[in-house]
Structure 1
């Protein structure tokens, strides 16, 4: 289904907005939102006005950014405008660049430079620069996870950067908020603004790991949550089936381009390179009222195996896999798993990590699509070290804590921050020493094909590039084995 009828012109005619802001050029456009640069008339502050066409995405982003208000590594929402029968417009801090642009710029410099002896840490970034970028990303993710917010679309393009080098997580339109039942807001704890708009009163925000004292509502210092405790809480939330979001039933957008393996279809091709972010599935409303979540979410290159295999029972750990993919891209300047379809994505992961089985992830056979698709045994998987041959064993070991099949084995953001990698020489550089390109990322000219430009493919099937395969009918459908 195409994007909702274009209404971006309406932002220029809404009295409550133009009375406070001078709107300049459009600086970004996506399937569900347009972004404009603007000036706040009261103090001349340059801001970003984000007009969101989808009710569900708007609700999620407003809710998440309200809860995360004050987190230094999360984009600031100054205010928002939202009335019935109109698109939501969020007023955000204006950040002119993103991590994708930083990586692209480093890659271009690498290409233009005469290749000499390469230093560990990757050509284009020093080790200290990589550490500082990662610390900022981890602080942002830690803030999300401490407030039980799963972002579900972490990637370099959603990590905005200020002129002075501060990185901030953005684009929370796919975020979900996991919450205990007694914390879910009722009619008695809604906040009403001066325009009569309502928003859910957030739970107490837990400060960021590095940037502020860790204290709870009682003033006592908070201790770092252990991995066992972290996953125990996640499992309790799943068991109680309390995904905080009652907007799915009212969503006015259906993503018609979904080709997730959960449906095992071969006619609906994900035909863009890495840029296909799923924000809503038609079945998600029913699933999430039952405590489930859609597997068709996130951007394919950064989507973890459990989602690729159709899981609807997952938690914060999906962000940890995405974190690992971002870390690997900072190290190599190339995506770790640049799949051109969902099945190609699984194949690339399998070629690196080996086959998915009970030995590496107990319980994986229960994934919805595990028994539907299988690959020939990978005798000699490449391994993370094979993807990053110029990096030390310590860096590879750290990356393996994120890029692993079993979600319960992935290191949490706070565990990563406490790793000796970030405190040993060479130390992270000051934020002020980070290079920030003047503009945001665009199509990657170094890619074989540009992002969102896969319409020229001869076939709309995920399966044509994989050679011989066996299709076997079963009582519930069919299975496919690639040989």
Structure 2
């Protein structure tokens, strides 16, 4: 019998995470709990002390860089998911080791919606709602104080521990804003390995921050450079259609937001993709990683993003908060659009049309003149969407769901709102009801949180009634009834 072969280099990245020797030496990988086009998530156990962890294998450099950078900055924030350590080298996907959180706010909402209502009152007690809101606000406040815009806040990305502590997760779309309002570039001249001493102090795991000692034959040890990284990205893009690798669209990512991991995708195909909302995607990001409008999940996406803006800031998270809080109060999504156009239509039906009167400067949005809606004479108003809610609850949501981003209340302003200091007071975290596991559905999954079986695909124009096409100097305008 031939002798056992000597250990060779690690298998290529197409192989399973189970073959990553530097990982399996420290962790037992128990099961895969989430999977998407750009990341896979596993439940694991740290061998040194038995700690339960989530191992997130990110198949996209850009998303990995963004998430690691944001989580390092936010380390120590009690309402942001904890990054224990990460593994990364030039020829392998990044693997983030995160704290394991088995539930999320989507599960809280789904669980409460299944309980019987008492006289029309939502099953979630006001004190519970307030405590969930406070935790979300404290987490977002930590992000914004550090100039981090999350860009994909939704119930499925608000994870919850068994003790009831809520933590913001999935920073793969997050961006760091600079003092001048621009965004920090995605790619640093040095790699994470070159900054290992600084990160070792932060993550307290210096051995995993260093370059792997096993390199393919003929290749030098050391960090991947900016040039090498960009070259790899170019080569990858040349081999793959752009729609498969453009992370900004959040498309094709499956139901993988469970357990401190990935983004659940905006699966629906928009009939006007490429003509009015997706201009930034078509143009692509520049070398400095400029912002794009195609971020976040549709139901929680701010109007400026739906109109193609690439000049936005922390305020897009505030709109998402308004949608999340409304859903906490009613246990139903506020604007469950089946396409970007339908999303705008639902917003207008509640809040009225977008105009210079309610948002000075809105007519300068990239797609404002490309598509228009008939004037809504009598919008139904937030009060109609929030039945059985108090005046203070409606006011809280209204302060976030403002067309003008500058008018939206900041997390710190809301944390000081009298709503949280008046009876009934927020319950202690220990009194919160936490579901045993994450909700299995998301708003863009088949059926969604609520079963919208009457909704057809985005490409069904009959849902919108007669359309009016008007030629313009740059193409055409589409008017919806």
Category of TM-score, reference length = shorter chain: 0.7 to 0.9
- Give aligned pairs, total: 410
CA drift of 1:459 comes to 5.9
Change over 3 Å in CA distance of 1:116–1:195 after alignment to 2: closer
Counterpart Cα distance in 1 of 2:230 and 2:308: 19
* Aligned with 1:344 (options 342, 345, 353): 342
Q: Does 1:71 align with 2:77?
A: yes
Contact 1:71 1:143 in 2 (8 A): yes
CA drift of 1:342 comes to 0.5
Q: Which moved more, 1:361-370 or 1:447-456?
A: 447-456
Change over 3 Å in CA distance of 1:336–1:451 after alignment to 2: closer
Q: Indicate the residue corresponding to 1:10 in structure 2.
A: 16
Structure-2-length-normalised TM-score? 0.78
5+ residue gaps in structure 1?
Answer: 1-5, 199-245, 262-268
Q: Indicate the residue corresponding to 2:330 in structure 1.
A: 332
Contact 2:268 2:457 in 1 (8 A): no
- CA-to-aligned-CA distance 1:434-458 (integer Å, 9 cap, x gap): 011111111269x982479999987
- CA-to-aligned-CA distance 1:86-124 (integer Å, 9 cap, x gap): 110000000000110110000111xxx2x54234xxx12
- CA-to-aligned-CA distance 1:317-344 (integer Å, 9 cap, x gap): 0000000000000000000000000000
Q: Indicate the residue corresponding to 1:309 in structure 2.
A: 307
Change over 3 Å in CA distance of 1:92–1:164 after alignment to 2: same
Counterpart Cα distance in 2 of 1:300 and 1:360: 22
Secondary structure of 2:170's match?
A: coil
Contact 1:272 1:340 in 2 (8 A): no
CA RMSD of aligned residues (A): 3.4
Q: Indicate the residue corresponding to 2:406 in structure 1.
A: 408
CA drift of 1:8 comes to 7.2
Counterpart Cα distance in 1 of 2:456 and 2:323: 29
Matches within 5 A, 1:263-342: 271=268, 281=281, 283-286=283-286, 289=288, 292-342=290-340
Change over 3 Å in CA distance of 1:416–1:460 after alignment to 2: closer
* Aligned with 2:67 (options 61, 80, 88): 61
Counterpart Cα distance in 1 of 2:411 and 2:454: 40
Q: Indicate the residue corresponding to 1:190 in structure 2.
A: 195
Contact 1:129 1:434 in 2 (8 A): yes
* Aligned with 2:49 (options 43, 49, 59): 43
Contact 1:8 1:34 in 2 (8 A): no
Q: Does 1:117 align with 2:119?
A: yes
Secondary structure of 2:68's match?
A: helix
Q: Indicate the residue corresponding to 1:238 in structure 2.
A: none
Counterpart Cα distance in 2 of 1:449 and 1:345: 17
Q: Indicate the residue corresponding to 1:422 in structure 2.
A: 420
Contact 1:272 1:454 in 2 (8 A): no
Contact 2:330 2:387 in 1 (8 A): no
Q: Indicate the residue corresponding to 2:432 in structure 1.
A: 434
CA drift of 1:481 comes to 1.0
- CA-to-aligned-CA distance 1:270-320 (integer Å, 9 cap, x gap): 5279xxxx9x9463422x72x741000000000000000000000000000
Counterpart Cα distance in 1 of 2:89 and 2:404: 43
Matches within 5 A, 1:159-178: 159-178=158-177
Change over 3 Å in CA distance of 1:102–1:298 after alignment to 2: same
Counterpart Cα distance in 1 of 2:268 and 2:13: 26
Q: Does 1:82 align with 2:88?
A: yes
Q: Indicate the residue corresponding to 1:26 in structure 2.
A: 32
Q: Which moved more, 1:386-395 or 1:59-68?
A: 386-395
Q: Does 1:359 align with 2:339?
A: no
5+ residue gaps in structure 2?
Answer: 1-11, 198-205, 212-227, 250-265, 271-277
Counterpart Cα distance in 2 of 1:59 and 1:257: 15
Change over 3 Å in CA distance of 1:154–1:434 after alignment to 2: same
Secondary structure of 2:97's match?
A: strand
